């Protein structure tokens, strides 16, 4: 979707604010939100792509003004409501409605830390051979899907060169909508800064993106 | 829910005398509900928070960089297949993402960003800092990397190529900074202390005088 989250190349978003003494979590609730998202993911109620899509669909004004973990909180809450796991009334009360079932958590106690240590791989074996090889010239397609995509607007329609093949990876454009992993070849594609931003850019500079095969066409 | 008013610096106040912030109360309500439903175990939440705060941090990435500096064969393996080379090092509580290592040289400077969200090699560097996740960094790192670098005090000549890596997939990028001059006599353990988080994102170069900065 052409959302405010797709901000590569935008101007006017201010200076970079640097805190040399930044804590891991600014308040304890930030850590609870981070942990809850990971534990809910263990249920399969959210996946990495669906979680990102929930963030992208926050109201643009809120997306820009909220802190990072405020966005995570809203996205998690919206996801649990959308999935029918909780109701607005339960949320207001902080407890489940009378007579509803109690589940058994799949991840308990110290398993939480082990969850972080477990391997989350998004590489999959597929029969199809990759269409492109290192050095091939490609063009990022001009697409404007209303759903989730990882092809930023600033690269659409631009010409680049394949520099690395990563194997087949889970396709976010379907996985975000719980429509299957649909793994397909993933490549690093290098674009010159001048191709993306014009002649004012330094001739030596480049920007590389990791792009799935469906995002590309031969050029 | 998503339309509720939030404040930009909405820290909770549990360590002070103030009442908890509205956001802290909202999180507490959600956690209580998810626990009540059996969807979340609070002890598992405790374990996750503890792991992030005490076990996962930039020392992991610094170890990889220091080994690459001191062992040319390891560096060659790291640049060829970072996922496998990082697997050679035993970290506590660390996922093994699909990794690419990119090397800074006198001619090439690498910079990592995620324009679409906040993708970051957190198992090697810890959770990303606020500036990395900020709209300012995400918007400008791709269109004006040299301006961004200058804000971090890093000025590069026009003859140095800047290679920006926008983390758009489940591939994570680690910058191997240049080894500072004057560190020839240091062993791997001593070098680990010199390698900063920011140098492994690519926003700064390392000086021999760097302490254990972020």
The answer to whether the CB of A132 falls within 8 A of the CB of A217 is no
| Inter-chain CB proximity B168 and A119 less than 8 Å | no
Q: Evaluate whether residue B32 is within a structural domain.
A: yes
- Give domain A124-218's CATH number out of 2.30.30.50, 1.20.1270.30, 3.40.30.10, 2.60.120.340: 2.30.30.50
* Residue B93 shares a structural domain with residue B150: yes
CA–CA gap between residue A95 and residue A77 (Å, rounded): 14
Give the CA distances from residue A113 to residues A108, B44, B48, B92, B123, in Å, rounded to whole numbers and listed in that order: 10, 7, 5, 10, 12
Report yes or no: B23 at the A interface, CB cutoff 8 Å: yes
CA–CA gap between residue A72 and residue B208 (Å, rounded): 39
Q: Evaluate whether residue B7 is within a structural domain.
A: no
ipTM of predicted complex: 0.96
- Poorest-pLDDT segment among A99-103, B92-96, B104-108, B180-184: B92-96
* Residue B28 shares a structural domain with residue B75: no
Residue A28 is nearest to which of B12, B43, B113, comparing CB atoms? B12
The pLDDT assigned to A125 comes to: 95
The pLDDT assigned to B95 comes to: 62
Burial-class residue A131 by CB neighbours within 10 Å (0-12, 13-18, 19+): middle
Residue A209 is nearest to which of B52, B137, B166, comparing CB atoms? B166
Average pLDDT, chain B: 89
CA–CA gap between residue B129 and residue B134 (Å, rounded): 9
* Residue B69 shares a structural domain with residue B155: yes
DSSP label of A153: G
CA–CA gap between residue A211 and residue A189 (Å, rounded): 7
The CATH architecture annotation of domain A28-117 reads: Orthogonal Bundle (1.10)
Question: Half-sphere exposure of A175 toward its Cβ, with a 13 Å CA cutoff?
Answer: 19
Domain that holds residue B31: 22-54
Q: Evaluate whether residue B33 is within a structural domain.
A: yes
Domain definitions of chain A by residue range: 28-117, 124-218
Q: Evaluate whether residue B12 is within a structural domain.
A: no
pLDDT above 90 (res B13): no
Apex A30 CA angle, A28 and A33, nearest 5: 115
Average pLDDT, chain A: 95
The per-residue pLDDT for range B150-186, each reduced to its tens digit, is 999 999 999 999 999 999 999 999 999 999 999 999 9
The per-residue pLDDT for range A169-209, each reduced to its tens digit, is 999 999 999 999 999 999 999 999 999 999 999 999 999 99
Other beta carbons less than 10 A from residue B83's beta carbon: 18
DSSP label of A130: P
Beta bridge partners of A210: A188
pLDDT above 70 (res B7): no
A122 closest CA partner among A181, A179, A178: A181
Residue A105 is nearest to which of B40, B158, B168, comparing CB atoms? B40
* Residue B125 shares a structural domain with residue B188: yes
| Inter-chain CB proximity B31 and A204 less than 8 Å | no
Instruction: For residue B94, name the pLDDT band (cuts at 50, 70, 90).
Output: low
pLDDT above 80 (res A119): no
Size of interface A-B (CB pairs under 8 A): 310
Question: Are A28-117 and A124-218 the same fold in CATH?
Answer: no
Q: Give the residue from chain A lying closest to B37, CA to CA.
A: A102
The answer to whether the CB of B82 falls within 8 A of the CB of B96 is no
Q: Evaluate whether residue B15 is within a structural domain.
A: no
| Inter-chain CB proximity B34 and A80 less than 8 Å | yes
Instruction: For residue A112, name the pLDDT band (cuts at 50, 70, 90).
Output: confident
pLDDT above 90 (res B14): no
Q: Domain total for chain B?
A: 2
The per-residue pLDDT for range A58-85, each reduced to its tens digit, is 999 999 999 999 999 999 999 999 999 9
The pLDDT assigned to B3 comes to: 37
Q: What is the mean pLDDT of residues B133-140?
A: 98
């Amino acid at each position: 979707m052409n959302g405010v989250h797709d901000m590569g190349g935008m101007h006017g978003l201010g200076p970079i604010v640097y805190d040399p003494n930044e804590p891991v979590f600014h308040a304890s609730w930030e850590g609870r939100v981070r942990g809850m998202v990971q534990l809910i993911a263990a249920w399969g109620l959210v996946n990495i792509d669906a979680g990102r899509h929930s963030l992208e669909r926050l109201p643009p004004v809120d997306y820009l003004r909220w802190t990072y973990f405020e966005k995570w909180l809203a996205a998690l809450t919206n996801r649990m409501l959308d999935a029918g796991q909780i109701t607005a009334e339960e949320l207001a009360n902080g407890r489940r409605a009378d007579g509803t079932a109690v589940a058994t958590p799949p991840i308990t106690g110290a398993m939480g830390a082990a969850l972080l240590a477990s391997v989350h791989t998004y590489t999959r074996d597929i029969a199809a051979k990759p269409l492109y090889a290192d050095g091939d010239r490609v063009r990022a397609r001009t697409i404007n899907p209303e759903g989730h995509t990882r092809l930023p607007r600033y690269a659409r329609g631009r010409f680049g060169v394949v520099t690395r093949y990563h194997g087949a990876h889970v396709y976010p454009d379907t996985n975000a909508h719980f429509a299957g992993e649909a793994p397909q070849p993933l490549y690093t594609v290098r674009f010159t800064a001048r191709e993306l931003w014009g002649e004012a850019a330094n001739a030596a500079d480049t920007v590389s993106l990791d792009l799935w095969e469906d995002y590309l066409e031969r050029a | 829910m998503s339309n509720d008013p939030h404040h930009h610096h909405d820290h909770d106040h549990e360590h002070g005398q103030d009442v908890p912030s509205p956001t802290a109360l909202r999180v507490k309500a959600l956690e209580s509900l998810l626990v009540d439903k059996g969807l979340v175990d609070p002890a598992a939440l405790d374990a996750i928070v503890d792991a992030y705060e005490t076990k996962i941090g930039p020392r992991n990435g610094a170890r990889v960089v220091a080994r690459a500096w001191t062992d040319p064969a390891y560096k060659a393996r790291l640049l060829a297949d970072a996922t496998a080379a990082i697997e050679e090092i035993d970290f506590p509580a660390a996922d093994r993402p699909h990794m690419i290592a990119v090397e800074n040289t006198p001619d090439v400077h690498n910079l990592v960003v995620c324009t679409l969200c906040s993708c970051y090699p957190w198992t090697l560097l810890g959770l990303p800092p606020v500036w990395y996740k900020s709209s300012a960094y995400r918007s400008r790192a791709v269109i004006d990397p040299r301006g961004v670098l200058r804000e971090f005090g890093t000025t590069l000549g026009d003859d140095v190529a800047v290679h920006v890596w926008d983390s758009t997939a489940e591939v994570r990028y680690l910058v191997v900074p240049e080894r500072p001059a004057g560190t020839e006599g240091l062993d791997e353990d001593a070098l680990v202390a010199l390698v900063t988080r920011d140098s492994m994102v690519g926003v700064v170069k390392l000086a021999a005088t760097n302490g254990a900065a972020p």
